[in-house]
């Protein structure tokens, strides 16, 4: 157990290190003078000079590399090209907003899929099961920007029930969370169903049934508990996936999250903000990954890692 955590931590550090190298390379992969890129196209010459000196862009590449590492490890991603605020100050509130969106979407997806998946397995190969299968298939094949636009048209423009844009009240959460959550729920439902079908075909289920346990107990007590292990992993993996989906969802609904910040930074060529948002997204993915691995081993000690 301890060995696992240590090895995963080493992996994490390695990943973070590669990530930083990549971000450093970003300066040199994107054509142009790195100091000018950092400062922004409109920056006066004295500012470009001071950045060149501060980041040592005039020094050899290796020196630059270590300097950059040092800066980033101190949390210094520089200033936004345009608003001239520290990147950290811009990114942190956005992380909270993205977490709120992804968290709610995950909750929605988990509850929906557990309910639908279990019932689907319970009524295996019956009309209910087939209906759920078809609906979840449709869900998987419809990208969030299609569901989002249709949602906006129906609920905001046509019926005028729900607001769009921003996140000031709970009503603002409904459409983005439903859009992102529904897509995730479709994926989860299929897998929860598979896990449950599998669990229900086991010998101990037959035994339980033979003992005369009611079907509800069989499904929700015996089968679900046994299917829970893969399902937990699945949800863990799904969290990373949901965060990825939030990029598009945030753009559709003008959600002030990290994903939209990243897209805006690309379209506005704001390299420091772009680096900051990539870095924090990546750190979140690495952390999620670590937690899933540890959770899984903890839940089932028979799994060992090489």
Q: Does 292 bind other proteins (CB under 8 A)?
A: yes
Phi-psi region of 245 (alpha: psi -120 to 50; beta: other; left: phi over 0): alpha
Phi, psi of 144, deg, nearest 5: -60, -30
Q: Does 21 bind other proteins (CB under 8 A)?
A: no
Residue 73 CA to residue 271 CA, distance in Å, equals: 18
Chain residues 249-278 in contact with other proteins, contact rule CB under 8 A: 251-252, 254, 256, 260-264, 266-270, 274, 278
From 274, 101, 260, select the one nearest 172 (Cα to Cα). Answer: 101
Q: Does 222 bind other proteins (CB under 8 A)?
A: no
Residue with Cβ nearer other proteins (64 or 147): 147
Residue 277 CA to residue 88 CA, distance in Å, equals: 9
- Shortest spacing between CB 87 and other proteins, in angstroms: 10
- Shortest spacing between CB 67 and other proteins, in angstroms: 22
Chain residues 106-145 in contact with other proteins, contact rule CB under 8 A: 137-138, 140-145
Q: Which of 181, 238, 272, 276 binds other proteins (CB under 8 A)?
A: 238
Q: Which of 166, 215, 217, 298 binds other proteins (CB under 8 A)?
A: 166
Q: Which of 66, 92, 153, 298 binds other proteins (CB under 8 A)?
A: 153
Q: Encoding tokens for residue 54?
A: 């501060």
Residue with Cβ nearer other proteins (59 or 76): 76
Q: Which helix H or strand E contains 113, and what residues bound it? A: helix 87-122
Phi-psi region of 80 (alpha: psi -120 to 50; beta: other; left: phi over 0): beta
Q: Does 248 bind other proteins (CB under 8 A)?
A: yes
The interface mask with other proteins, positions 67-106, x = CB under 8 A, is ------------xxxxxxx----x--x-------------
Q: Encoding tokens for residue 227?
A: 């299917």
Q: Does 230 bind other proteins (CB under 8 A)?
A: yes
Residue 44 CA to residue 52 CA, distance in Å, equals: 13
Residue with Cβ nearer other proteins (160 or 216): 160
- CB-hemisphere CA count at 13 Å for 145? 6
Q: Does 241 bind other proteins (CB under 8 A)?
A: yes
Residue 35 CA to residue 266 CA, distance in Å, equals: 17
Q: Does 151 bind other proteins (CB under 8 A)?
A: no
- Shortest spacing between CB 148 and other proteins, in angstroms: 9
Binding footprint of other proteins, residue count (CB under 8 A): 88
- Shortest spacing between CB 214 and other proteins, in angstroms: 25
Residue 15 CA to residue 21 CA, distance in Å, equals: 10
Q: Which among 9-17, 49-57, 59-67, 216-224 is the span making contact with other proteins, rule CB under 8 A?
A: 9-17
The interface mask with other proteins, positions 26-65, x = CB under 8 A, is x--xx---------xxx-----------------------
Chain residues 172-201 in contact with other proteins, contact rule CB under 8 A: 187, 190-191, 194-195, 197-198
**In angstroms, what is the C-alpha Rg of the chain?**
24
Triad 22, 279, 289: Cα angle to 5°: 100
192 in Cβ contact with 235 (< 8 Å): no
Residue 163 CA to residue 251 CA, distance in Å, equals: 15
Helices 271-299 and 224-252 pack at an angle, to 10 degrees, of: 170
């Amino acid at each position: 157990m301890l060995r696992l955590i240590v090895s995963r931590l080493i992996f994490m550090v390695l990943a973070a290190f590669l990530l930083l190298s990549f971000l450093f390379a970003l300066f040199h992969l994107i054509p142009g003078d790195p100091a000018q890129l950092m400062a922004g196209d409109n920056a006066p010459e004295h500012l470009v000079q001071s950045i060149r000196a501060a980041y040592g862009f005039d020094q050899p590449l290796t020196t630059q590399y270590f300097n950059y590492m040092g800066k980033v490890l101190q949390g210094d991603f520089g200033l936004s090209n345009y608003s001239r605020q520290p990147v950290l100050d811009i990114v942190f509130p956005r992380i909270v907003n993205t977490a709120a969106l992804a968290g709610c979407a995950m909750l929605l997806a988990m509850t929906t899929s557990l309910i639908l998946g279990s019932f689907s397995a319970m009524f295996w190969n019956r009309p209910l099961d087939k209906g759920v299968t078809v609906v979840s298939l449709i869900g998987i094949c419809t990208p969030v920007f299609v569901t989002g636009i249709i949602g906006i048209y129906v609920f905001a423009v046509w019926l005028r029930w729900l607001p769009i844009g921003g996140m000031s009240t709970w009503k603002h959460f409904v459409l983005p969370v439903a859009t992102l959550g529904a897509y995730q729920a479709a994926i989860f439902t299929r897998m929860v169903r598979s896990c449950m079908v599998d669990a229900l075909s086991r010998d101990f289920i037959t035994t339980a049934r033979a003992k005369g346990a009611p079907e509800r107990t069989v499904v929700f007590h015996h089968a679900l508990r046994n299917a829970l292990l893969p399902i937990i992993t699945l949800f863990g993996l799904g969290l990373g996936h949901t965060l990825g989906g939030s990029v598009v969802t945030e753009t559709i609904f003008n959600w002030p999250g990290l994903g939209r910040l990243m897209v805006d930074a690309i379209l506005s060529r704001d390299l420091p903000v772009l680096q900051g948002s990539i870095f924090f997204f990546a750190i979140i993915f690495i952390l999620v990954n670590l937690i899933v691995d540890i959770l899984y081993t903890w839940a089932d000690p028979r799994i060992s890692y090489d």
